[in-house]
């Protein structure tokens, strides 16, 4: 079962390409991106909650105050994911050049009966990794939104907490 | 039948590699393709395989070469076309997947004959082993037309002779070989026909039986065709000696 999956995965990359390392490195990078995003979000969130309190030491909330909208706290939280995505997007170029490394396996790839095989092997792996990156980023955003909504003291959410949510996609 | 009609190839920088080559290769022929460096041998093979764009027409049993019939052609090149980081077993699986007529039995027999390891990456092979493996793949693909471009460059004489013998033993009557090489003496008893290229054109095309009938050796035929000046070495040496004096 496991070897079948490994075989299927290996077919998403050029023949002989160290796909296991590629997948492992990408997943590690995504894990780092996820952890750092959540951690930074929690730090910024705690800072954003300070103005809500009349007395921080006694944890007494000041009536009529509102926390800033989500997008201000989340900020550039997706930067890590953007970096991973950029690396993944560049992978097909390296995959294509792989066919000139140490031999001209490009000759074999270009004379296969299934003409699309060369491009499939160059693009499929990065496409899957990119999809995983997008999914991971979406999940982390959802998790942070959930934390924002549940951890903000009742009645202190702004009128439109999700105002300008599209701004989180901005990476610079 | 593999038919080339007036095949021309000019590279971007203006070099004409093929200046109208017409040639046909029938089933079961073993053809030697000879010519000086730059005569167009490699270019011709790459054109047949569709790796280069060309003018003219190349057909296989009357049909243009497309993905539908490309599996009927295989290629062994001195540049190598295997995947260096893949094992021999990995190559076998890859070829099985892409070439339905892959000859498993032949692959195993040849791997055993050359004592090549199945589970080592090809990059760990010696130069000779790499050449052997390249040829093994071309022979095992299950193609009717096997194109070989200087496949034995780097192999020792014993290896090469073994290979010719094995090749003659395993080839089936419908398998055609087009072998480009400079090793004239070695292949003269192995090939059935010699095609000579010179400056992108066919300068000569004769079967070895025709040559035998005429009492000529392949070497003589090649030398005659290329107007080889046998005294050019002595003339040069004389010139140099005169200069010294």
DSSP string, B89-146: HHHHHHHHHH-TT--HHHHHHHHHHTT--SSSBGGGS-HHHHHHHHHHHHHHS--SEE
Across residues A15-33, what is the average pLDDT? 96
Q: A156 to chain B, minimum CA–CA distance in Å?
A: 59
Sort out which chain A residues have CB atoms less than 8 A from B95's CB and list them: none
**Please, which contacts does A51-58 make with residues 24 or more away whose CB atoms are closer than 8 Å?**
A52/A153, A52/A156
Interchain CB distance below 8 Å, A114 and B98:
yes
- How are beta strands B176-180 and B145-149 bridged, if at all? parallel
**Chain A residue set in contact with B, beta carbons under 8 Å:** 14-18, 101-108, 110-115, 117
C-alpha–C-alpha distance, residues A128 and A117, integer Å? 16
Residue A121 tokens, joined: 């092997």
* Counted domains in chain B: 1
Q: What is the CATH number of the domain that holds B212?
A: 3.40.50.300
Cα→Cα distances B202→A116, B5, B7, B38, B40, Å? 35, 12, 11, 13, 10
Lowest mean pLDDT among B28-32, B114-118, B133-137, B217-221: B217-221
Q: How many helices (H) and strands (E) does chain A have?
A: 6, 2
Sort out which chain A residues have CB atoms less than 8 A from B50's CB and list them: 110-111
Strand, helix or coil at A54?
Answer: strand
Quick: pLDDT tens for B152-175: 877 778 778 888 888 888 999 999
Check: CB of residue B168 under 8 Å from CB of residue B160: no
C-alpha–C-alpha distance, residues B47 and A121, integer Å? 25
Nearest CB neighbour to A15, from listed B49, B68, B94: B94
Q: Quick one: pLDDT at residue B168?
A: 83
Sort out which chain A residues have CB atoms less than 8 A from B68's CB and list them: 113
Which percentage of chain B shows pLDDT scores above 90? 69
Interchain CB distance below 8 Å, A113 and B98:
yes
By residue range, what is the domain housing residue B37?
A: 2-244
Does the beta carbon of B49 lie under 8 angstroms from any beta carbon of chain A?
Answer: yes
Nearest CB neighbour to A15, from listed B49, B70, B90: B90
Lowest mean pLDDT among A15-29, A48-62, B96-110: A48-62
Q: Quick one: pLDDT at residue B232?
A: 72
Nearest CB neighbour to A113, from listed B70, B77, B85: B70
Chain B residue with minimal CA distance to A14? B83
Preferred mutation among A15, A96, A108 to probe B, highest tally of B CBs within 10 A: A108
Q: Is the pLDDT of residue B41 over 60?
A: yes
Sort out which chain B residues have CB atoms less than 8 A from A108's CB and list them: 75, 81-83
Which helix (H) or strand (E) segment is B40 a member of? none
Nearest CB neighbour to A103, from listed B51, B80, B94: B80
Q: How confident is the model at residue A48 (pLDDT cuts 50, 70, 90)?
A: very high
Interchain CB distance below 8 Å, A15 and B81:
no
Nearest CB neighbour to A103, from listed B71, B82, B94: B82
Q: Quick one: pLDDT at residue A172?
A: 54
Q: How confident is the model at residue B107 (pLDDT cuts 50, 70, 90)?
A: very high
Q: How confident is the model at residue B55 (pLDDT cuts 50, 70, 90)?
A: very high
Does the beta carbon of B78 lie under 8 angstroms from any beta carbon of chain A?
Answer: no
- How are beta strands B30-34 and B193-198 bridged, if at all? parallel
Across residues B209-231, what is the average pLDDT? 83
Across residues A83-90, what is the average pLDDT? 96
Which pTM was predicted? 0.87
Burial class (CB in 10 A: 0-12, 13-18, 19+), A145: middle
C-alpha–C-alpha distance, residues A44 and A49, integer Å? 9
Sort out which chain A residues have CB atoms less than 8 A from B80's CB and list them: 102-105
Lowest mean pLDDT among A135-139, B8-12, B167-171, B200-204: B167-171
Across residues B13-34, what is the average pLDDT? 94
Q: B66 to chain A, minimum CA–CA distance in Å?
A: 8
Across residues A100-107, what is the average pLDDT? 95
Q: Is the pLDDT of residue A102 over 70?
A: yes
Interchain CB distance below 8 Å, B67 and A114:
yes
Quick: pLDDT tens for A111-140: 999 999 999 999 999 999 999 999 999 999
Q: How confident is the model at residue B92 (pLDDT cuts 50, 70, 90)?
A: very high
C-alpha–C-alpha distance, residues A171 and B64, integer Å? 51
């Amino acid at each position: 079962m496991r070897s079948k999956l490994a075989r299927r995965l290996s077919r998403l990359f050029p023949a002989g390409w160290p796909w296991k390392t590629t997948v492992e490195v990408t997943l590690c990078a995504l894990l780092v991106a996820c952890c750092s995003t959540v951690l930074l979000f929690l730090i910024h969130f705690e800072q954003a909650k300070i103005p809500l309190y009349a007395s921080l030491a006694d944890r007494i909330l000041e009536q009529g105050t509102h926390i800033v909208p989500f997008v201000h706290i989340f900020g550039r939280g997706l930067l890590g994911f953007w970096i991973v995505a950029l690396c993944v997007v560049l992978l097909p170029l390296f995959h294509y050049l792989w066919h000139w490394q140490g031999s001209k396996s490009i000759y074999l790839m270009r004379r296969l009966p299934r003409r699309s095989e060369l491009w499939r092997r160059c693009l499929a792996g990065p496409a899957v990794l990119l999809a995983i990156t997008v999914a991971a980023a979406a999940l982390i955003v959802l998790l942070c939104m959930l934390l924002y909504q549940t951890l903000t003291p009742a009645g202190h959410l702004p009128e439109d907490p999700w105002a300008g949510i599209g701004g989180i996609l901005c990476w610079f | 039948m593999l038919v080339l009609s007036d095949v021309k190839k000019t590279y971007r920088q203006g070099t004409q590699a093929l200046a109208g080559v017409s040639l046909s290769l029938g089933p079961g022929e073993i053809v030697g393709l000879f010519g000086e460096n730059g005569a167009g041998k490699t270019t011709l093979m790459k054109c047949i395989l569709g790796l280069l764009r060309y003018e003219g027409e190349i057909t296989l049993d009357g049909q243009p070469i497309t993905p539908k019939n490309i599996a009927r052609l295989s290629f062994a090149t001195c540049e190598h076309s295997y995947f260096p980081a893949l094992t021999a077993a990995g190559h076998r699986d890859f070829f099985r997947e892409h070439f339905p007529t892959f000859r498993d039995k032949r692959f195993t027999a040849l791997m055993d004959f050359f004592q090549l390891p199945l589970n080592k990456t090809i990059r760990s092979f010696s130069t000779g082993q790499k050449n052997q493996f390249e040829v093994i793949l071309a022979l095992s693909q299950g193609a009717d037309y096997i194109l070989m471009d200087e496949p034995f460059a780097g192999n020792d004489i014993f290896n090469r002779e073994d290979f010719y013998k094995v090749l003659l033993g395993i080839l089936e009557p419908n398998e055609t070989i087009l072998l480009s090489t400079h090793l004239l003496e070695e292949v003269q008893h192995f090939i059935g026909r010699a095609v000579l290229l010179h400056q992108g054109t066919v300068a000569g095309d004769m079967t070895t039986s025709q040559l035998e009938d005429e009492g000529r050796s392949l070497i003589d035929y090649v030398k005659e065709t290329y107007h080889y000046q046998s005294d050019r070495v002595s003339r040069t040496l004389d010139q140099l000696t005169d200069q010294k004096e």
